[in-house]
């Protein structure tokens, strides 16, 4: 089939350092990435990836939403996008809903907590 449709509301939420993620396209062999919708309702755990690059696109944000990138805190708002390369320690601070593109495909073995 030339396309695949995913309804994120039908995907099971999976616990992660960011609280809850819904991940799509992990089962599509010829697609090199996974796409996640992640909801953060509090501070997430500081973590990093050795191999994965993540791109966060902010869909919804509380008024005090920030991202910690290594030792820096960045204010975020809906419509912003951040590219997070391998090795960058990161976490969400505050309430937000984020669309994440993960390249290569998400691998839970490549999630390192600080």
Q: How far is CA 40 from CA 4, 8, 57, 63, in A?
A: 27, 16, 13, 13
Domains of the chain, first to last: 13-109 (2.60.120.10)
- Of the candidates 41, 27, 33, 69, the one whose C-alpha atom is nearest the C-alpha of residue 16 is 41
Does the reported pTM lie above 0.85? yes
Instruction: Return per-residue pLDDT of the chain as tens, 114 residues.
Output: 789 999 999 999 987 777 789 999 999 999 999 999 999 887 788 999 999 999 999 999 999 999 999 999 999 999 999 999 999 999 999 999 999 999 999 999 999 997
């Amino acid at each position: 089939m030339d396309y695949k449709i995913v309804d994120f509301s039908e995907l099971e939420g999976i616990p992660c350092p960011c609280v809850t993620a819904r991940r799509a396209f992990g089962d599509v062999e010829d697609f090199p990435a996974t796409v996640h919708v992640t909801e953060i309702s509090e501070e997430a755990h500081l973590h990093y990836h050795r191999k994965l690059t993540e791109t966060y696109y902010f869909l919804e944000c509380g008024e005090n939403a920030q991202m910690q990138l290594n030792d820096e805190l960045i204010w975020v708002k809906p419509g912003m996008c951040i590219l997070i390369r391998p090795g960058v320690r990161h976490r969400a601070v505050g309430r937000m809903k984020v669309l994440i593109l993960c390249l290569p495909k998400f691998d839970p073995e490549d999630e390192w907590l600080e």
